[in-house]
Structure 1
Amino acid sequence: MKNTPSQLKILSIDIGGSHIKATVLNSKGELKMDYDKIPTPAPSNPENLIKAIKTLVKDFPAYDKISVGFPGYVKNGVIQTAPNLNTKLWAGTDLSKKLAEALGKPTQVVNDADMQGLGVVSGKGLEMVITLGTGFGTALLMDGHLLPHLELAHHPFKDGDTTYDKYIGEKALEKYGKERWNKRIQKVFKVLKTVFNYDTLYIGGGNSDLLTFKLDKNMKIVTNADGIKGGSRLWLSEDESKTKRSLATPAK
Structure 2
Amino acid sequence: MSAWGALFCGGGMQEVLGIDVGGSAIKGAPVSVKTGELLEERVRIETPQPSTPEAIVETIAALAGRFGWEGPVGCGFPAVIKDGVVRTAANVDPSNIGFDLQAALRERLGSEAGVINDADAAGLAEVRWGAGREVEGVVLMITVGTGLGTALFVDGRLVPNTELGHIELQGHEAEHIASDAARKRENLKWREWAQRFDAYLRAVEDLLWPDLIIIGGGTSKKAEKFMHRISPRTPVQIARMHNDAGIAGAALAALPEALRSPARAG
Tell me what 2:143 maps to: 131
Instruction: Report the secondary structure of 1:134's partner residue.
Output: coil
Matches within 5 A, 1:20-169: 20-28=26-34, 29-86=36-93, 88-121=94-127, 122-123=133-134, 124-159=136-171, 162-169=172-179
| 1:231 and 2:242 are equivalent in the alignment | no
TM-score (norm 1): 0.84
With over 3 angstroms needed to count, the CA separation of the structure-2 counterparts of 1:147 and 1:183, relative to structure 1, is same
Aligned equivalents of 2:196, 2:46: Cα separation in 1: 28
2:216 is equivalent to residue 204 of structure 1: yes
Identity across aligned pairs (percent)? 34
Cα pair 2:75 2:250 within 8 Å, conserved: yes
Q: Deviations over 1:38-85 (max 9, x none)?
A: 222221111221222222232215352111111111110000001111
Between Structure 1 and Structure 2, the one with more helix by share is: 2
1:114 shift after superposition: 0.8
Q: Give, in angstroms, the shift of residue 23 of structure 1.
A: 1.0
> What TM-score do you get using the length of structure 2 for normalisation?
0.80
1:119-150 deviations in whole A, cap 9, x for unaligned? 01114221111111222111101122111422
Question: Structure 1: how far apart are the matches of 2:55 and 2:178?
Answer: 28
Measured after TM superposition, the shift of residue 181 of structure 1 is: 2.6
Runs of 4+ with >6 A deviation: none
SS class of match (1:68): strand
Counting matched residue pairs gives: 238
Superposed CA deviations along residues 72-108 of structure 1, whole A, max 9, x for unmatched, are 111100000011113x311100000111112221111
Q: Which moved more, 1:181-190 or 1:131-140?
A: 181-190
Kindly indicate whether the alpha-carbon contact (under 8 Å) linking 2:81 and 2:115 is maintained by their aligned counterparts in 1. Answer: yes
Following superposition, the deviation at residue 240 of structure 1 comes to: 6.8
Coordinate RMSD, CA, aligned: 2.5
Residue 219 (1) aligns with residue 236 (2) = yes
1:205 CA drift (Å): 1.3
Q: Which of residues 184, 188, 198 in structure 1 aligns to 2:196?
A: 184
Which stretches in structure 2 are left out of the alignment for 5+ residues? 1-7, 128-132
Going from structure 1 to structure 2, the CA distance change for 1:7 and 1:42 (only over 3 Å counts) comes to same
SS, match of residue 153 in structure 1: helix
